[in-house]
């Protein structure tokens, strides 16, 4: 699903993104509710990036990656931790692309997410390559999502990947 976000694009950058786990739902500009084999997932586009809410019989999980005023937790390259009965894994990377590369990659990602039944993308008015896109799926007992945050003024694309799944016993 592709939507035009009803807000003005603010001149933020990849370095302004912060990561938080367990935050309450923040005001969203667009949402997509999904049922993925017993897991309820809500993809949320915020004015300053994304939030994912996961509800399942084992509990709930909330991930926020956004420009959060006063946040002291910058965007980490990776996180692995236990959340209730789940293992939570998060990874992020920042790519810096030329203007031509950026435009091509933006078009590819928006097409991928827009055409996917579990995808949500929002573009900012007047800034076709400024977007946030999200894609969720369930695979082998885990719920996974990927996100992309585009900052065309800097040629930066932030990609995140998250997996939340049942804790696996340690190998013997």
- What does the DSSP assignment read for 53-101? EEEETTEEEEEEEE--TT---BPPSEEEEEETTEEEEEEEEEEE--HHH
Is the predicted pLDDT of residue 44 greater than 60, yes or no?
yes
Binned at pLDDT 50, 70 and 90, residue 108 comes out as very high
Residue 149's SS3 state is strand
Q: How far apart are CA 42 and CA 36, in angstroms?
A: 11
Instruction: Check residue 170 and give its pLDDT.
Output: 55
Instruction: Check residue 72 and give its pLDDT.
Output: 62
Residue that has been written with the tokens 């926020």 in this structure:
64
Model confidence pLDDT, tens digit, residues 18-37: 898 988 999 899 999 999 98
Instruction: Check residue 101 and give its pLDDT.
Output: 94
The pLDDT mean for the chain works out to 87
Instruction: Check residue 8 and give its pLDDT.
Output: 63
């Amino acid at each position: 699903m592709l939507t035009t976000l009803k807000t003005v694009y603010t001149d933020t950058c990849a370095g302004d993104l912060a990561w938080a786990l367990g935050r309450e739902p923040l005001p969203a500009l667009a949402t997509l509710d999904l049922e993925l084999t017993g897991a309820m997932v809500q993809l949320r586009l915020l004015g300053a990036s994304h939030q994912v809410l996961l509800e399942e019989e084992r509990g709930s999980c909330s991930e926020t990656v956004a420009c959060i005023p006063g946040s002291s937790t910058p965007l980490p390259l990776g996180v692995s931790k236990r959340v209730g009965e789940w293992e939570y894994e998060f990874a992020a990377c920042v790519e810096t692309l030329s203007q031509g590369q950026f435009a091509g990659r933006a078009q590819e990602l928006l097409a991928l997410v827009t055409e996917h039944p579990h995808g949500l993308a929002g573009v900012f008015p007047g800034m076709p390559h400024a977007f946030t896109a999200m894609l969720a799926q369930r695979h082998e007992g885990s719920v996974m999502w990927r996100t992309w945050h585009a900052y065309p003024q800097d040629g930066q694309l932030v990609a995140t990947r998250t997996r939340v799944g049942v804790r696996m016993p340690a190998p013997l």
